[in-house]
Amino acid sequence: DAMVIQNPRYQVTQFGKPVTLSCSQTLNHNVMYWYQQKSSQAPKLLFHYYDKDFNNEADTPDNFQSRRPNTSFCFLDIRSPGLGDAAMYLCATSRVKGSSYEQYFGPGTRLTVT
């Protein structure tokens, strides 16, 4: 089945220790999104890629970076995680960039910072 896959599902990292979360998709979608969702809150968009074109949200901290080496994979790098970065990180894809297209989400990676 075509899908969005996130690994790992649970990640524990230490304060200040860089961590990378990964997302892959078999949908061959052009757009990939990264969201941060804190407990009992709505998902918050961090950035997205349209093909190789990177689009950062204005309020995304510099601590968060992303890479998309090819259509199928996208990575979220947190350079120096703080306690406030503990959250669920959701990857999503969309066939085409635009408001009318639904997004398909992965199961998320729950990040714990100790």
Partner 1 sequence: AQKVTQAQTEISVVEKEDVTLDCVYETRDTTYYLFWYKQPPSGELVFLIRRNSFDEQNEISGRYSWNFQKSTSSFNFTITASQVVDSAVYFCALSDSSNTGKLIFGQGTTLQVKP
27 exposed, middle or buried (CB, 10 Å; 0-12, 13-18, 19+)?
A: middle
Measured from the CB atom, the residue of 70 and 100 that comes closer to partner 1 is: 100
The reply to whether 42 sits near partner 1 by the rule CB under 8 A is yes
The reply to whether 88 sits near partner 1 by the rule CB under 8 A is yes
Site string for partner 1, 3-22 (x = CB under 8 A): -x------------------
The reply to whether 100 sits near partner 1 by the rule CB under 8 A is yes
Residues in contact with 102: Cβ distance below 8 Å, sequence separation at least 6, in sequence order:
94
Q: Contact at 8 Å (CB) between 89 and 77?
A: no
The reply to whether 24 sits near partner 1 by the rule CB under 8 A is no
The reply to whether 27 sits near partner 1 by the rule CB under 8 A is no
Q: Minimal CA–CA distance to 32: which of 86, 58, 70?
A: 70
